[in-house]
Amino acid sequence: MTTGAGQRIGAGDQVATRRNDRDLDVANRDTWTVTHTHRDGRLTVTSPTAGQRVLPAGYVGAHVELAYATTAHGAQGATATTAHLVLGEHTGAASAYVGMTRGRQANSAHLIATNPDEAREQWVTTFTRDRADLGPDHARREAERAAAHYAQPSPVNELTDKLRQEWDSEARDLDWLTNAAPLRDNLRQITRLRREHAAEIAPLEATYRQARETQSMAKGMSDHSETVIAVETEQNREALLAEWTAQRPAAHANARTVLDGPGRIGLKLPAVNRAKEALGRWSVRWQPIIPAMPTGHADIARFADRADDTPRIYKAVDDYARRRAESRYPEHQHHAADAAATDRGVREAWLQLRETQRRHQHQLGDFGRLGHTATPEQHFAQIEQQIAAAKQQLAETREQIAQLEHSLATTQLDAVDGHLGRTNNHPVRVDQPSDPVDAARTNWSAERVAKQQAAQQATAHRIAVASIASEQEHRETWREHDPGRSQALPGHGVDR
């Protein structure tokens, strides 16, 4: 889970709620332990004193932050097993006292120094900064201004701190809404495209299914007809080949009689004539079946006398047997034509469906991985609810800001009037800006910009370091595999 401020929160983390919410029964600065993170952005948290709460995603993104560290002002009244104080050049006695008294078992101070003497000097300086016992003259001159630094904060400082917290909340809400709006809009477009795609794909899928069913029926009828034709073709072929084989010896003998001729005195003429008549009848029988069968007596005799061209004869017989079987079943041609037509129909339906799906994928691909979300409607509804909740929180935050700004301006005016009254209406220098709201806002904005710039610089530095490391690794890999760096064989060195 990542908050609107960019903090990553997981189970076991200590977090703080930074906005009062009666419906959730949580208060500003309450601390909790995260026991479970939910996919929709919710957090289940628990506290030894308050029990368990479930914080919605909108509240988590805008008003929850890690609670491992806080300001001295925020730590007032809190206790911990071990406390750590970070000393800076502006840390005062009051802040140091608060930080060093929060731990029940141990309290540690952290500062930066080059040697123990310098560290000791910083420590002493911290507890002499903004003290109230610097003498009666000093106390009389700066009692009101200095009290805020070592005692309970003045109303102006309290209001300023609260304003800064609310401005932080407002900024987090605005940042989150800025990032959530494009996501919401993209999910809306994806949801619309998915519905349009479903409406366009459904009839194409129905057409493809119908084409497949029609193809299956046509193929079944064609296959059945083909089976019948194949069986009869085989029967015809076997019968014709058997007849050809039985007649072939007689045809060969008659061919020899014709080719030998009637003899010198014509004694064999009757036998030759009878052989020619038999060959003629044999030729007439097989001319429709075997296209190579000649028609002249001499050609028939020579054809019958030669050995058979078996593959050619078998091919001719098989074709004739097929034609004869098909002539008995003319519906087979219609079944085959229907099957071929349904094949074309299936392919056309599939191509149209595939092209439409490819076009849809291309449209969704413009949204990156978001375009492949399984349930965009559900995600859209969730982010709509989160945006609505964030807007409501933003409105409440701005209302609180307006009240605090008014209170701060009124408090500052009262402080000025009090100073003037105590000096018999003679003007005195008041160490407060003329417009405390603008001044506080300006300081807060400058600090926020500085933090953002520092974060950007840190990110850019990490990217640059990663890029340099990747480039260095690439160079090392290239050097290891560079064939040009292989050593020359002994005796084959380059002449110098």
pLDDT score, position 135: 43
Please tell me the predicted confidence (pLDDT) of residue 97.
60
Domain that holds residue 351: 201-363
Classify residue 397: in a domain, yes or no. no
- Structural domain contains residue 44: no
Chain mean position to CA 235: 64
In-domain check, residue 272: yes
**Residue 255, domain member (yes or no):** yes
- The pLDDT of residue 414 is 60
The pLDDT tens digits along the chain (496 residues) read 677 777 888 888 888 898 898 888 988 888 889 998 888 889 999 988 888 999 998 898 888 888 877 766 556 556 677 777 777 766 766 566 666 676 666 778 887 877 676 776 666 566 555 543 434 443 444 443 443 344 344 577 888 888 889 999 999 989 999 998 998 999 999 999 999 999 999 999 999 999 999 999 999 999 999 999 999 999 999 999 999 999 999 999 999 999 999 888 888 899 999 999 999 999 999 999 999 999 888 899 999 999 999 999 999 999 999 999 999 998 988 999 999 999 999 999 999 999 999 999 999 999 988 888 888 899 899 888 999 998 998 999 999 899 888 888 887 666 555 544 444 444 433 444 457 788 888 889 888 898 888 888 888 888 887 778 777 776 776 666 655 554 444 444 444 3
Asked if 177 contacts 384 with a C-beta cutoff of 8 angstroms, the reply is no
Tell me if 399 sits within 8 A of 169, measured CB to CB. Answer: no
In Å, what is the CA distance from 483 to each residue of 157, 270, 476, 486? 71, 95, 14, 6
Helices 310-328, 155-260: axis angle to 10 degrees equals 110
Amino acid present at 168: D
Query: Which pLDDT tens digit goes with each residue over 307-316?
Result: 999 999 999 9
Q: Could you give the 3-state DSSP secondary structure of residue 109?
A: strand
- C-alpha dist (Å) from residue 412 to 144, 417, 418: 13, 9, 10
SS3 at position 45: strand
Whether residue 104 lies inside any domain: the answer is no
- Identify whether 119 is part of a domain: no
Task: State how far the alpha carbon of 32 is from the alpha carbons of 12, 67, 68, 364, in Å.
Answer: 10, 8, 11, 41
What is the predicted pLDDT for the residue at 421? 47
Asked, for residue 210, whether it belongs to a domain, the answer is yes
β-bridge partners, 241: none
Q: From CA 64, how far away is CA 6, in angstroms rounded?
A: 11
Distance, CA of 140 to CA of 164 (rounded, Å): 31
How many structural domains comprise the chain?
1
Residue for token digits 């004739």?
320
Q: What pLDDT does 150 receive?
A: 40
CA–CA separation, 475 and 99 (whole Å): 51
Nearest to 279 by CA among 295, 261, 266: 295
Say what the pTM is: 0.45
Q: List, as own/partner pairs, every contact residues 351-356 make where C-beta atoms lie below 8 angstroms and the sequence separation is at least 24, other chains included.
A: 352/204, 352/207, 353/201, 353/204, 353/205, 353/207, 353/208, 356/200, 356/201, 356/204
Q: What are phi and psi of 396, to 5 degrees?
A: -65, -40
pLDDT tens track for 389-426: 989 989 999 998 998 888 888 876 665 555 444 444 44
**Interatomic CA distance for residues 321 and 238, integer angstroms:** 9
Q: Is 31 helix (H, G, I), strand (E, B) or coil?
A: strand
Q: Which of 298, 289, 257 is nearest to 274 (CA)?
A: 257
